[in-house]
Amino acid sequence: MFGADLEHTWGARRFYTYFFVCGVGAGIVDIIVKLLIDPHGRGTALIPTIGASGAIYGVLLAVAIVMPHRQVWVFPLPVTVSMRIFVIVMGAIEFFTTIGSTGDGVSHVCHLGGMLVGYIYLRRGSYLYNYRNFFTDWKRRRLRKKFEVYVRDHNEKPPSNPDNWVN
């Protein structure tokens, strides 16, 4: 339901890449958490995880970032909320369900892992942003000084004879 709009916004190739990265990343996060909880592989580490729900939660997060003010109608209630609020509530539900794991057969860690991997994927270019801005600002200041010297040198000269211009 939300993936179609994201695919139209990004294009098919970028959307499918994002979906695949979120799904694989959610599975890897799930494996890591299972191995941290059960390092010898005798209990929960042996239970396989199947599904694309981690990737779907990644898509939910991406829609909330790309279209935060989009209104979503919550089905049983006649209420509309913004996409940002909807995803925050869904993430909170998954987080608190993970804490109080009741053995319902759903990998809530995988859902949270999909959201985490999706967030990291979307923010991957913004790390070290201050250092990149500092370098870009330095280059602009340097070019501005060069341009001021160029303008100053050319303003002191009288204009050329317009009759000699070639069109």
Task: Please name the residue that has the structure tokens 């049983």.
Answer: 76
- pLDDT tens profile 5-36: 999 999 999 999 999 999 999 999 988 888 88
- pLDDT at position 131 is 73
- pLDDT at position 153 is 60
Instruction: Kindly state the tokens that stand for 5.
Output: 């709009």
**Mean pLDDT taken over the chain:** 82
- pLDDT tens profile 119-133: 999 888 666 667 777
Instruction: Kindly state the tokens that stand for 86.
Output: 């909807």
- pLDDT tens profile 61-111: 999 999 989 899 888 888 899 999 999 999 998 888 887 766 666 788 888
Q: Which residues of 112-141 are buried (b: 16+ CB within 10 A; e: fewer)?
A: bbbbbbbeebbeeeeeeeeeeeeeeeeeee
Nearest in space to 122 (alpha carbons), one of 61, 56, 57, 52: 61
User: Across-strand partners of 74?
Assistant: 79
Nearest in space to 2 (alpha carbons), one of 50, 54, 67: 67
- pLDDT at position 13 is 93
Rg (CA), the chain: 26
Query: Could you tell me the pLDDT band of residue 113, with boundaries at 50, 70 and 90?
Result: very high
